[in-house]
Amino acid sequence: MNYSKIIAGTMSWGAWGKQLSKKEMAALMHHYISNTITTFDHADIYGAYTTEAHFGEAFKDAGIKRESIQLISKCGIQYVCDHRNNKVKHYNYSKDYIIWSVEASLKNLNTEYLDLLLLHRPSPLMQAEEIAEAVTILKKDGKIKDFGVSNFTASQMEMIGLRVDIDVNQIAFSLTQHTAMHDGTLDYLKTNGITPMAWSPLGNVFKEDTEQTRRIHKQLGLLIDKYNATEDQLLLAWVLMHPSGIKPVIGTTNRDRITQAINATKIKLDLEDWFLILVASQGYKVP
């Protein structure tokens, strides 16, 4: 499956963020698509199980051909909210629940299939055989095209991947959260031909004022003129340079930042500049 180089994350579109109207959501979809960002990332829990339906209503009226975009959704997290009778946040990866959840997402998104289904977070009680059975049924019925996981370790992927093919792992990865580069996760993805997607690809650089983020801003400031780029573009270019082929999932609804994000895919950092940025984050030189 050909997902766009940058992926549109929808978590903040609804009740958990901007609370966009149907008209605003449709306009935002068109803006993303006009910038060659055609993959939209969802999860059933976004907006406390409401955002998918709001997106689906907007999509229905947006005049966008289904085959021109890719829809991702995630399942498994049982969230405590008014829309679910859950006593505690937990995970459910039973065969019946996975199938039911996908069918609910299809209905909410006004689509007949998902381009990609992800298991949202690993559960200590998940049964790989049962997951594989659900995925096999969903693929056979044409309800999903690709299957993947999110936030899974290499060993967890190995356990699931022995039973059913994994196409994607969506992980936290950024300049300020790059443990996947050192714990074997990205190595496993590269070795096994699994596409990495990165949520929160800008990390904490613009969210926190710390010694680390001040070092990062200083270093990025020294490179802005060289690359004729903004700081957020340089952060995305840093992520994109990793040889595993990471696809960043951006959550912005700001039109200028959307355009800046796709233009970041054209930036090729010099080797030493990539390491200068890494060292600014770590606060020490590489071993």
227 assigned to active site: no
Token pair, residue 11, equals 């978590």
Rounded CA separation 170/151 (Å): 6
Q: Please pick, among 46, 49, 188, 227, the residue that the annotation labels catalytic.
A: 46
Quick one: average pLDDT of 177-185? 97
Give the Å distances, CA to CA, from 244 to 154, 186, 187, 190, 196: 14, 6, 8, 5, 7
pLDDT in tens, 10-62: 999 999 999 999 999 999 999 999 999 999 999 999 999 999 999 999 999 99
Percentage of the chain lying above the pLDDT 90 cut: 99
What's the mean pLDDT when you consider all of the chain? 97
Where do the domains of the chain lie, and which CATH numbers do they carry? 7-172 (3.20.20.100)
pLDDT at 1 over 90: no
pLDDT in tens, 204-253: 999 999 999 999 999 999 999 999 999 999 999 999 999 999 999 999 99
pTM over the 0.95 mark: yes
Quick one: average pLDDT of 94-100? 98
The closest of 58, 57, 48, 59 to 11, measured between CA atoms, is 48
pLDDT at 267 over 80: yes
